[in-house]
């Protein structure tokens, strides 16, 4: 008698002699593993070899110095405002007489901190910066033992005078084109005489 | 007399160092080979290609905290790994490593001792080896360790019978001598024993896998069921001895298989080659060359052991027992009967 048609016949297949011997199956498996001897390992020996990264890769930040070795950042806070993760904090300082070789303009960042655990490396700070002071580089954030050590201050962010970091790959043709727009030459020093000559 | 003592001392130390060195680098090669089979690189940080890795591993083992459980039987706990290690090294005593070497007009065997019951000695010492595991597992006073030890001993008993019967067939077809030197020298001219004992070799090989507790027969130490098996409670260098002795066992059983079934230091057209080079009997070149050939064979067997380990999953316990008692034992008896018939018609044995 059959009440439903959901009956399933359970397979009670008896192993054949070849299957009971195991040896053919073992040989098959051994050939599969042996074939991997001749395959290329996808591993990259990390510190010596590095995986190729895109020219616009967004890694650790750098605070750039200008051609004279003075800090470009004027502590305007645009980056902190733009930052979606609220990773950037800074305090401003006023340039004293005799510090012209240290800071490009009268106002500078006395402290400048990025919390690398908050940062999402979106690059909006770089985009917001009117002074071409902050850039994302191809470097990686170091490994630390303490959470506090991930708050990078100026000591880690400002590039060294003798170890300049090349950020030209970050300046894509689009960025260079953008800079050509009159009035957006934010790279120039402030000059009151030019104040009304912009076109925008 | 003094010459004999010096010769024995030198060869003892040499074979001991050889066994330890090969075992140490077998651990590295195991990891490398596993890595190659799994599309990885393996250890490559300690020295070039990771060649200093065994030293680093040994150093690590020595530095680790040594724990002897309060509830364990202290003396037996220490005796276990020692016994396992000692028996592992002892088996290397009867293996001839190369052609005799002529020195000051006298021929010296490259073998610690050529006893006329070599095969029985081997089987005996290998069986004592499991006492190390049993004592270690029992003295740990731990359920997992005890289960591992019980598994090891029952596995050893089950597979030793098939192994012994396979060896009887080998001895019949190789001329009836129990001396390892005679068995290997018998393959000097003509063909290696494998040609007459293919089934015997297969049985012996499977049993050797089981006797050395290598995968797929590594039930005594299977970490999925028994934590660490018989060495659950062991730490530091005592654990190191257990692991290390396993590699020595693997090396020795590879040497035995290469010697018993594949001619050891003999190879096809050996005499023609020696004549072509003009090497005299007992010369250093012949011994070294033979030793090199033997070593290549051993290396291939070690690779085979590792290849199997990284391919096959572990047996279930009932499968292990079924294979041992219901398959290998009848198969080895059949092989023995077949050998007797074949050898009777070949004319090597008479009734």
Which tops the pLDDT comparison, B283 or A14?
A: A14
Q: Minimal Cα–Cα distance from B9 to chain A, Å? A: 42
Within a domain: residue A126?
A: yes
List the single best residue of A30, A31, A40 to mutate versus B (max B Cβ within 10 A). Answer: A30
A67 three-class SS: coil
Question: What span, in angstroms and rounded, lies between the C-alpha atoms of B69 and B74?
Answer: 8
Q: Which ranges of A22-172 does DSSP label H, i.e. alpha helix?
A: 23-35, 78-82, 124-128, 154-157
Within a domain: residue A80?
A: yes
pTM over 0.80: no
Within a domain: residue A173?
A: no
Within a domain: residue A55?
A: no
Number of domains in chain A: 1
Within a domain: residue A71?
A: yes
C-alpha pair distances (Å), B125 with each of B89, B109, B131, B339: 10, 22, 10, 26
Select from A29, A41, A43 the Cβ nearest to the Cβ of B312.
A29
- Cβ <8 Å between A41 and B37: no
Mean pLDDT of B241-246: 87
Residue A81's domain spans which residues? 61-165
C-alpha pair distances (Å), B233 with each of A101, B34, B156, B227: 67, 27, 22, 10
Are B197 and B187 within 8 A, CB to CB? Answer: no
Complex-level ipTM:
0.74
- Cβ <8 Å between A26 and B39: no
Our measurement of the distance from residue B163's CA atom to the centroid of its chain's CA atoms, rounded to an integer in Å, reads 13
Within a domain: residue A170?
A: no
Within a domain: residue A88?
A: yes
A-contacting residues of B 49-68, CB under 8 Å? none
C-alpha pair distances (Å), A65 with each of A55, A73, A103, A131: 21, 8, 9, 11
Question: What span, in angstroms and rounded, lies between the C-alpha atoms of B56 and B63?
Answer: 10
Are B245 and B230 within 8 A, CB to CB? Answer: no
How does pLDDT run across B173-227, given as a tens digit for each residue? 887 788 888 888 888 877 788 888 888 899 999 999 888 888 788 877 777 778 8
Residues of A with CB under 8 A from a CB of B: 26, 29-30, 32-34, 36-37, 39-43, 45
Q: Minimal Cα–Cα distance from B311 to chain A, Å? A: 6
What are the beta bridge partners of residue A158?
A63
How does pLDDT run across A76-129, given as a tens digit for each residue? 998 999 999 999 999 999 988 888 888 888 899 999 999 999 999 988 888 888
Question: What span, in angstroms and rounded, lies between the C-alpha atoms of B238 and B247?
Answer: 15
Cβ-based contacts under 8 A for chains A and B = 33
Spatial CB neighbours of B338, under 8 Å, sequence gap ≥ 6: B169, B199
Q: Minimal Cα–Cα distance from B181 to chain A, Å? A: 32
Within a domain: residue A85?
A: yes
The residue ranges of every structural domain in chain B are: 2-346
With a cut of 60, say whether residue A184 has pLDDT above it: no
- The per-residue pLDDT for B44 is 86
With a cut of 90, say whether residue B8 has pLDDT above it: no
Which tops the pLDDT comparison, A16 or A30?
A: A30
A chain contacts of residue B307, beta-carbon cutoff 8 Å: 30, 33-34
A-contacting residues of B 13-52, CB under 8 Å? 35-41, 44
Are B6 and B108 within 8 A, CB to CB? Answer: no
- Cβ <8 Å between B307 and A43: no
Identify the helix (H) or strand (E) that includes residue B347. none
C-alpha pair distances (Å), B32 with each of A24, B28, B53, B121, B125: 27, 6, 11, 34, 31
Q: Minimal Cα–Cα distance from B41 to chain A, Å? A: 7
- Domain CATH for A128: 3.30.70.3270
Q: What confidence tier does A200 reach under pLDDT thresholds 50, 70, 90?
A: very low
Q: What confidence tier does A186 reach under pLDDT thresholds 50, 70, 90?
A: low
B chain contacts of residue A30, beta-carbon cutoff 8 Å: 307-308, 311
Question: What span, in angstroms and rounded, lies between the C-alpha atoms of B261 and B196?
Answer: 9
B chain contacts of residue A29, beta-carbon cutoff 8 Å: 311-312
């Amino acid at each position: 008698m059959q009440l439903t048609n959901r009956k399933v016949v359970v397979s009670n297949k008896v192993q054949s002699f070849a299957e009971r011997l195991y040896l053919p199956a073992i040989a098959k498996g051994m050939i599969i593993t042996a074939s991997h001897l001749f395959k290329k390992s996808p591993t990259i020996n990390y510190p010596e070899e590095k995986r190729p990264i895109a020219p616009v890769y967004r890694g650790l930040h750098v605070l750039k110095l200008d051609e004279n070795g003075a800090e470009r950042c004027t502590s305007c806070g645009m980056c902190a405002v733009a930052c979606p993760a609220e990773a950037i904090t800074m305090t401003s300082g006023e340039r004293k007489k005799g510090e012209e070789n240290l800071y490009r303009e009268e106002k500078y960042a006395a402290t400048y901190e990025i919390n690398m655990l908050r940062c999402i490396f979106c690059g909006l700070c770089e985009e917001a910066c009117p002074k071409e002071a902050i850039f994302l580089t191809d470097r990686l954030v170091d490994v630390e033992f303490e959470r506090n050590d991930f708050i990078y201050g100026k000591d880690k962010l400002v590039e060294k005078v003798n170890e300049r970091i090349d950020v030209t790959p970050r300046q894509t043709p689009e960025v260079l084109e953008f800079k050509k727009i009159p009035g957006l030459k934010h790279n120039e020093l402030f000059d009151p005489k030019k104040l009304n000559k912009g076109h925008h | 007399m003094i010459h004999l003592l010096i010769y024995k001392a030198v060869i003892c130390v040499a074979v001991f160092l050889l066994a330890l060195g090969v075992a140490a680098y077998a651990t590295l090669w195991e990891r490398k080979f596993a890595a190659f089979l799994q599309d990885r690189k393996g250890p490559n940080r300690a020295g070039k290609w990771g060649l200093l890795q065994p030293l680093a591993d040994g150093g690590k083992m020595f530095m680790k905290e040594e724990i002897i459980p309060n509830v364990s039987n202290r003396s037996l706990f220490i005796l276990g790994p020692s016994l396992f290690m000692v028996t592992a090294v002892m088996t290397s005593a009867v293996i001839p490593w190369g052609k005799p070497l002529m020195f000051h007009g006298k021929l010296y065997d490259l073998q610690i001792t050529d006893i006329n019951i070599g095969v029985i000695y081997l089987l005996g010492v290998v069986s004592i080896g499991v006492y190390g595991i049993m004592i270690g597992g029992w003295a740990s006073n731990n359920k997992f360790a005890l289960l591992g030890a019980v598994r090891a001993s029952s596995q050893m008993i089950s597979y030793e019978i098939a192994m012994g019967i396979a060896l009887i067939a080998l001895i019949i077809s190789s001329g009836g001598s129990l001396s390892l030197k005679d068995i290997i020298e018998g393959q000097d001219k003509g063909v290696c024993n494998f040609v007459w004992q293919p089934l015997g070799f297969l049985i012996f090989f499977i049993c050797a896998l089981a006797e050395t507790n290598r995968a797929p027969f590594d039930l005594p130490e299977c970490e999925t069921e028994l934590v660490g098996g018989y060495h659950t409670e062991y730490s530091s260098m005592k654990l190191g001895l257990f692991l290390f002795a396993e590699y020595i066992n693997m090396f020795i059983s590879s040497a035995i298989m290469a010697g018993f079934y594949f001619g050891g230091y003999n190879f096809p057209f050996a005499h023609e080659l020696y004549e072509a080079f003009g090497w005299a009997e007992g010369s250093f070149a012949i011994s070294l060359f033979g030793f090199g050939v033997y070593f290549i064979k051993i290396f291939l067997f070690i690779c085979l052991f590792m290849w199997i380990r990284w391919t096959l999953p572990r047996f279930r316990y009932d499968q292990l027992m079924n294979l041992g008692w219901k398959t290998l034992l009848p198969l080895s008896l059949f092989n023995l009967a077949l050998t007797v018939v074949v050898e009777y018609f070949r004319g090597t044995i008479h009734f």
